[in-house]
A and B are shown apart, each in its own frame.
Chain A
C-alpha cells in the first residue's frame, strides 16, 4: 500500500511517500533528511496524537477545565477518549497536573488537568 504524507518534523514539510505494510520492509521516499524516514514509518504504522480538550467543572469561576493526554495516543482511540472526557463532571479544587483519568483504556495514558481551579 502507498501513502502520501507530509513530514512535520521541521518547517520544510517534505512530501513523503511511504510504501509497504510490513514493518521490516517499509520504504520512505521524498525525505530530505533521516528524521523524515523515522516520521514516515511511525506515521504509517502507528499514528499517534496529543489530545487536548476540556471537561465540565462545577465552578463559579470557570465552566470548563482544560486537560491533556500525558503523551500521544493512537489516533483510533481519540473518539472514545473524547466521549469519556465529555461525560465527566468535576468538582474543584483541581490543580494543574492533577490526574483526571488514569490509564485510559488500559493504554497507560493519563489525562492531566492543565489549569488550577480553586474551590
Chain B
C-alpha cells in the first residue's frame, strides 16, 4: 500500500470539490482531490444543456463548459489530482484523518491529512424507492443514468418512453429523448404541481406536445423481458377502483424521483446526518460532527444551481484554511427551520463575520416574506418575489448587525436563530 500526506484531501472532483480545492490551494494548503471517474467535472459532464453559471460567470454555459472553467481554475495551483480512484474508507486518529483510496492503476493508497472535504455529490432514487408493483423487466432507468448513456456513451435507451417525476432532470431528458428521435408519451407527476422550473415545462414538454399528468402516479409495470407499458392512475381517489386510470404502452421508463446526498462512507466514519437534507449536519464553518471533516455541494444538500454549490464550496475551503491555521470557530448559535421552511444549511450561526444561509421553502407563491428571529425577536425581514420548493433561497446575515449583537449580549437561553417564510394576510376584500 502506498502512503501519501496532504494538509487536506477532497473526496469528489465535481464543481464543489474543485472549487473547495482551488480555494484551499490558493490559501497555501497542500491539497489532493480524489475522483472516482476518469475525468474531473462530476455530474456537469453529462448535463450538456445550457443554464449553468449565470451567477458565477454572468454567462449561460452548458454543464461541460462550466466544468472546464472549474478545471482551468486549478491551472497554476499545485492541487494533486487522483482520477479513477474511489475512496472506500475514512478514519480519524488523534487529530489526523486517514483515508483509503483504491484505483486500478495504483491499487490501494493511504492518505494522511488534517482535514477532509466531503464533495461526493448525490445519487438518484430508483425503482426500489417507488415500490411500484409489476414485473421487473429491462428498460427501466433513472433519468440521470439515461442522460449519461445518451450524452456521454452515445447510446439510445429506447424508442417510446414514459417519464415518472417532473423534476428538471426528467424534463430535460424528455427534450433530449425527443431530439434523439424517441417519442415521449407522457410525464407522470404525483404532486398537483410540476416539480421543475417553468422554463423546462415550456421548452421541454410544451414545445413537443408531451402531456404532463399532474396528481397521477404509475400503479403497475408490465413486460416480460423488456417493459411493455405502465398503468397510470389519478391519486385523488385513494382506495378502491381509481376512476380515470389508463394504460400507456412504452419500451422505456425513466425515473426522475429525487436525489439523495451520497453519504455511505461519511456514515461509516461516524458523520451525523440531517433527517431533512440527507447530508451531514454542519456548523457555521461547514464542519461535520467529526472534527476535521467538512462537507459542501450536493453531498451536503441537493443544489439546483451549480453556482450555489461552487460558492458554498469556496466558503467551505476558507473555513478549512482557518481550521488548518488553528483559528478558532468562536461562539456559534443554533439555526433552525421555522414555519414553511424545510431546512436551513448550515445549522449554526457564527458570531464573527458574515454568514450565508441556504434554505428550501415548503410553499409555493408570490409575496412571501423571509423572517429571521433571534430568541423570538425579528432581526431580518425580506420580501421574496416568488418562492417554490424547487428553488433554493439564500441570504446573508452579518453577526455584527446591531439587532443581533445587542440581542445576543442580553444572554439567556434565547439564542436560537429561527428562519421562516410567511405569507402576509390578504389585504381587505
Binding site for B on A (CB under 8 A): 5-8, 10-13, 49-54, 56, 61-64, 66, 68, 75, 78, 82, 96, 114-116
Contact = CB atoms under 8 A, between A and B. Distances in A.
Given A61-B39, A62-B152, 9 more contacts: A6-B202, A54-B150, A64-B154, A68-B50, A82-B179, A114-B64, A114-B65, A115-B67, A116-B68
Contact of B198 (A11, A50, A56, A75): A11
A115 B64 contact: yes
19 contacts: A5-B202, A6-B202, A7-B198, A8-B198, A11-B198, A11-B388, A56-B154, A61-B39, A62-B152, A63-B152, A64-B151, A64-B152, A66-B63, A66-B151, A78-B179, A96-B68, A114-B64, A114-B65, A115-B45
B48 A54 contact: yes
A10 B60 CA distance: 15
B236 interface: no
Interface in B129-149: none
B366 interface: yes
Contacts of B150: 54
A12 B386 contact: yes
Given A54-B151, A64-B153, A114-B65, A11 B391 contact: yes
* Across the A-B interface, the 10 shortest Cβ-Cβ residue pairs: A13-B198, A63-B154, A66-B48, A115-B64, A8-B199, A64-B154, A114-B62, A11-B386, A114-B64, A114-B65
B409 to A, nearest CB: 40
A6 B64 contact: no
B274 interface: no
Of B38, B154, B207, the most chain A CB neighbours within 10 A belong to B154
A64 B156 CA distance: 12
A115 B152 contact: no
A52 B49 contact: yes
Contacts of A13: 198, 201
Nearest to A43: B202
Interface of B: 38-39, 45, 48-50, 60-65, 67-68, 150-154, 179, 197-199, 201-203, 206-207, 366, 385-386, 388, 391
A65 B61 CA distance: 15
Contacts of A8: 198-199, 202-203
Of A10, A51, A64, the most chain B CB neighbours within 10 A belong to A64
A11 to B, nearest CB: 5
B151 to A, nearest CB: 6
Nearest to B364: A11
Contacts of A116: 68
A2 to B, nearest CB: 16
Contacts of B65: 96, 114-115
Contacts of A63: 152-154
A69 to B, nearest CB: 9
Contact of B154 (A5, A54, A115): A54
A16 B153 CA distance: 40
A50 B65 CA distance: 15
Contact of B197 (A11, A53, A56, A96): A11
A20 to B, nearest CB: 21
A62 B50 CA distance: 20
B63 to A, nearest CB: 8
B43 to A, nearest CB: 14
Of A5, A10, A63, A115, the most chain B CB neighbours within 10 A belong to A115
Contact of A10 (B45, B154, B385): B385
B152 A49 contact: no
A20 B62 CA distance: 36
A63 to B, nearest CB: 4
Contacts of A7: 198
Contact of A49 (B60, B67, B197, B207): B207
Contacts of B207: 49, 75
Given A63-B154, A64-B152, A115-B68, A10 B62 contact: no
A88 B249 CA distance: 33
B30 to A, nearest CB: 27
Contacts of B179: 51, 53, 78, 82
